[in-house]
């Protein structure tokens, strides 16, 4: 039987057995609606409240600042679209979103980038800040882009393709300073990839809004949360009942919320030791690839990055072809964001680093988890060099060069 090795944890993670155990009571006997006032409802409500405390503890937030959502995409939509729409509706005489200005980066996840593009079509002005070869935005660029009409800065905590950690605490201080001086401006960070991999503290970052997703931290798909600092006004995107402080109408999926709470509690325990061991495996993989595969290179900073992601470009190779070759040998990797799979265009994140299409098309993301082992990494290092060599030999571009 083919040995399977999963190195695509940034797309999704396996559900932790303890998380499954936390869900099960709410799929069987404890089936009440958390909005009901009888015993069954209050039993469910207690589970939701407990999970809210667990998520808040991981972020150093207050429990009443946590809003449960269906995942990172909904959290980002509620944060960005919700804040801009609330700001626009409070401005007398404004024509649509004209007069609103948003600052973001060129390497945001589609769940932020596409929302910004949609806002532009409605009259909102958006500035997309560049990153440099290290994949990191500069705080000075953020500062220089701010205008009198800027109402939101959205900078991801860590990139989903190359793992680079952005200077969000410095951006947070900049935004707070401006707000203290009277400007109505807020700061959102998409922390979907960062939460559970590095310490994420909303007070240290100084953000007003922060998005996270359960399936990146060993909870099921379909549950996430948005941190909303007290006093921040959003327009609800799901209009219905008064659940989640009126910001997200709909009956609470108690079993999923319990799962997210447990996953956050486990992630908090793993932070001190788990990240170190995963980083060691990542470094072992990188060293082996760079030694065995000529004309391969690491994308983005090798210092300010998550411990579990490495993104490597292989010159003369199509990343999709390498992905398929590795998958046929039991190794699961990615060419970038799972939300962009199916796109024939080179990764915009790799291109934003200043690389040409050849490097961008040859980029492969390896994202590790606590379940990975040294033996698995060594197996990848056995298989990968021959796969790259074979694809280079078969490449029409390389054949033409000969």
Query: pTM, whole model, 2 decimals?
Result: 0.94
Regarding whether 301 and 197 lie in a shared domain, the answer is no
* Token code pair at residue 294: 């000529």
Active site residue 124: no
CB neighbour list of residue 124: distance below 8 Å, 6 or more residues apart: 84, 97, 98, 100, 101, 102, 116
Digit-coded pLDDT (tens) for 210-241: 999 999 999 999 999 999 999 999 998 888 88
pLDDT at 91 over 70: no
Least confident segment among 79-93, 158-172, 195-209, 235-249: 79-93
User: Among candidates 256, 270, 262, which has minimal Cα distance to 50?
Assistant: 262
Long-range contacts of 115-118, Cβ-Cβ distance < 8 Å, separation of 24 or more: 115/76, 115/77, 115/80, 115/81, 116/80, 116/154, 118/81
Residues 338-387 pLDDT 10s: 555 555 678 899 999 998 888 889 999 999 999 999 999 999 999 999 99
- Each residue of 22-42: pLDDT tens digit? 999 999 999 999 999 999 999
- Residue 395 and residue 336 share a domain: yes
Could you say which DSSP state residue 121 is in?
Answer: H
Q: In this structure, are 227 and 338 located in the same domain?
A: no
pLDDT (mean) for 301-321: 96
Residues 6+ apart with CB under 8 A from 159: 107, 135, 166, 193, 300, 349
The runs of H, that is alpha helices, within 24-71 are: 39-59
The token pair that represents 236 in the structure block: 């609800």
Q: Are residues 105 and 222 in the same domain?
A: yes
Check pLDDT > 80 for residue 274.
Answer: no
C-alpha triplet 371, 376, 379: angle, nearest 5°: 170
CATH of the domain at 360: 3.90.1150.10
- Tally the domains of the chain: 2
With 70 as the cut, is the pLDDT of residue 95 above it? no
Average pLDDT, integer, range 266-279 = 87
Domain that holds residue 187: 17-266
Q: How far apart, in whole angstroms, are the C-alpha atoms of residue 161 and residue 193?
A: 9
From 105-114, 215-224, 258-267, 273-282, the region with the lowest mean pLDDT: 273-282
The Cα 303–Cα 273 span in angstroms is: 19
- Give residue-wise pLDDT tens across range 98-126: 789 999 999 999 999 999 999 999 999 99
Pairing of strands 331-332, 5-6: parallel
What pLDDT score was predicted for residue 337?
Answer: 54
Dist CA 365 CA 10 (whole Å): 9
Query: Distances in Å between the alpha carbon of 1 and those of 5, 56, 107, 324?
Result: 13, 43, 40, 18
Say which residues have a Cβ less than 8 Å from residue 377's Cβ, sequence separation at least 6: 281, 284, 285, 288
Q: Are residues 362 and 380 in the same domain?
A: yes
Summary mean pLDDT of the chain: 93
Q: What share of the chain has pLDDT > 90, as a percent?
A: 84
Band of residue 396 on the pLDDT scale cut at 50, 70, 90: low
Residues 31, 104, single domain; the answer is yes
Together in a domain, 108 and 141 = yes
**Residues 282 and 254 reside in one and the same domain:** no
* CATH number, domain containing residue 134: 3.40.640.10
Catalytic residue among 116, 124, 264, 339: 339
Claim to verify: residue 311 and residue 345 sit in the same structural domain: yes
Percentage, residues of the chain above pLDDT 70: 94
When pLDDT is averaged across residues 307-311 and rounded to a whole number, the result is 97
Give the pLDDT confidence score for residue 93 in this predicted structure: 46
pLDDT of amino acid 238: 84
Alpha helices in 293-347 (DSSP H): 319-328
């Amino acid at each position: 039987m083919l040995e399977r090795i999963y190195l695509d944890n940034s797309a999704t993670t396996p559900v932790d057995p303890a998380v499954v155990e936390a869900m099960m009571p709410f799929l069987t006997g404890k089936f009440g609606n958390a909005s009901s006032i009888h015993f069954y409802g209050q039993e469910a409500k207690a589970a939701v409240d407990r999970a809210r405390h667990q998520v808040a503890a991981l972020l150093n937030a207050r429990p009443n600042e946590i809003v449960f959502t269906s995942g990172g995409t909904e959290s980002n939509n509620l944060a960005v679209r919700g804040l801009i729409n609330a700001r626009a509706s409070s401005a007398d005489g404004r024509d649509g979103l004209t007069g609103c200005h948003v600052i973001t980066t060129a390497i945001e996840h589609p769940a932020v980038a596409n929302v910004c593009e949609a806002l532009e079509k409605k009259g909102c002005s958006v500035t997309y800040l560049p990153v440099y070869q290290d994949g990191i935005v500069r705080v000075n660029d953020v500062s220089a882009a701010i205008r009198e009409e800027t109402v939101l800065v959205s900078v991801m905590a860590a990139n989903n393709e190359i793992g680079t950690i952005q200077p969000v605490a410095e951006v947070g201080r900049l935004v707070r300073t401006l707000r203290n001086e009277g400007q109505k401006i807020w700061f959102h960070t998409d922390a979907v990839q960062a939460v559970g991999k590095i310490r994420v503290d909303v007070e240290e970052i100084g953000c007003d809004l922060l998005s996270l997703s359960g399936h990146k931290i060993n909870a099921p798909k379909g549950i996430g949360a948005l941190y909303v600092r007290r006093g921040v006004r959003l327009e609800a995107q799901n209009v219905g009942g008064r659940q989640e402080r009126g910001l997200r109408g709909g009956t609470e999926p108690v079993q999923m919320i319990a799962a997210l709470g447990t996953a956050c509690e486990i992630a908090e325990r793993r932070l001190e030791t788990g990240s170190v061991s995963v980083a060691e495996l990542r470094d072992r993989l990188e060293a082996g690839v760079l030694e065995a595969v000529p004309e391969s290179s690491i994308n983005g900073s090798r210092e300010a990055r998550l411990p579990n992601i490495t993104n490597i470009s292989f010159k003369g190779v199509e990343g999709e072809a390498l992905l398929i070759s590795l998958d046929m040998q039991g190794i699961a990797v990615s060419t970038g964001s799972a939300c962009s799979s199916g796109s024939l265009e080179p990764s915009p994140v790799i291109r934003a680093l200043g690389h040409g299409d050849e490097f961008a098309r040859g980029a492969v993301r390896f994202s590790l988890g606590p379940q990975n082992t040294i033996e698995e990494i060594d197996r990848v290092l056995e298989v990968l060099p021959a796969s790259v060599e074979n694809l280079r030999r078969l490449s029409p571009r390389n054949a033409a060069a000969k």
